Amino acid sequence: MSGGHWLLVMAAVVAAFLVLALPIDWPGGAFGQFIPALLFPAIPLAALAYVTPVHWRSIFGKVGGREVRLMVGFALLNLVVSMGVGAIVSALTVVTPNASTSQLGGLDTAGQVAFFAKTIPQLFGEEVITLLPFLALMHLFAIRFGTGRKRAIIGAWVVSSLLFGLIHLPTYHWNWIQCIVVIGSARIVLTLPWILTKNIWVSTGAHIINDWLLFGLSLLGAGMAVTT
């Protein structure tokens, strides 16, 4: 892929983020909330398929027992890392709760099911808009700047994790420290399965398991608060 190809894919990544982040009044009632969640991964993947009609599929791999074990293992590792980093940050400064997670306990059963279902394409989209910039940055560092492969991987890993933290600024009311340190650290862990396997399904699975565990803990805490 040329530099121009990567610019087109990065433009699609930005467009996908705006589709999800902007307050657009989508049609379709309750089902309308799934439109931006589905477009979120679809837009950049369509751009990737346009510039490389054959090789765009190389970011996907098989899913077997090993891949599932990696998903679970990295999800649990990320929980440990993010909770540890979050505890340190919360002891030093104010942290902002995720509004969506906070509201989850107030939804009825149908609303909660819809919430969990919507997170599947949305979290897949987060992997897409993180790993495509990761690959673009590798191209930039290795081809344009002439760094070695290992340095290109490390540079792309760090910068893409930082960008991932920054796109969460609106979610956490522009809490820069929380997004860069806590969310960025979590992203560093979640990118590891991609680096090891080159399979976006593995990092996506780890991301979904991680977030669903957090959502489940939030629901459990809300339920215990009601009963007490």
Burial 169-208 (b: 16+ CB within 10 A, else e): eebbeebeebbbbbbbbbbbbbbbbbeebebbbbbbbbbb
- How does pLDDT run across 193-224, given as a tens digit for each residue? 999 999 999 999 999 999 999 998 878 765 54
Residue 176 in this model has a pLDDT that exceeds 90: yes
- Looking at per-residue pLDDT, the higher value among 99 and 223 belongs to 99
What's the CA angle centered on 137, arms 192 and 135, to 5 degrees? 55
Q: What is the arithmetic mean of pLDDT over 145-172? A: 94
Please report the pLDDT score of residue 222 as a whole number: 56
Residue 228 in this model has a pLDDT that exceeds 60: no
Compute the distance between CA of residue 137 and CA of residue 10 in angstroms, rounded to an integer.
10
Mean pLDDT of the chain: 92
Please report the pLDDT score of residue 107 as a whole number: 82
Compute the distance between CA of residue 150 and CA of residue 157 in angstroms, rounded to an integer.
10
Please report the pLDDT score of residue 73 as a whole number: 97
Tokens 């790993």, residue?
Answer: 131
- Looking at per-residue pLDDT, the higher value among 219 and 163 belongs to 163
Query: What percent of the chain has pLDDT above 70?
Result: 96
- Looking at per-residue pLDDT, the higher value among 197 and 107 belongs to 197
Q: What is the arithmetic mean of pLDDT over 169-184? A: 93
- How does pLDDT run across 66-77, given as a tens digit for each residue? 999 999 999 999
Please give the single-letter amino acid code of residue 47: A
Residue 175 in this model has a pLDDT that exceeds 60: yes
Please report the pLDDT score of residue 227 as a whole number: 47
Predicted structure pTM score: 0.93
Please report the pLDDT score of residue 123 as a whole number: 97
Residue 79 in this model has a pLDDT that exceeds 60: yes
Please report the pLDDT score of residue 28 as a whole number: 79
Query: What percent of the chain has pLDDT above 90?
Result: 71
SS3 content of the chain, % helix, strand, coil (to 5): 80, 0, 20
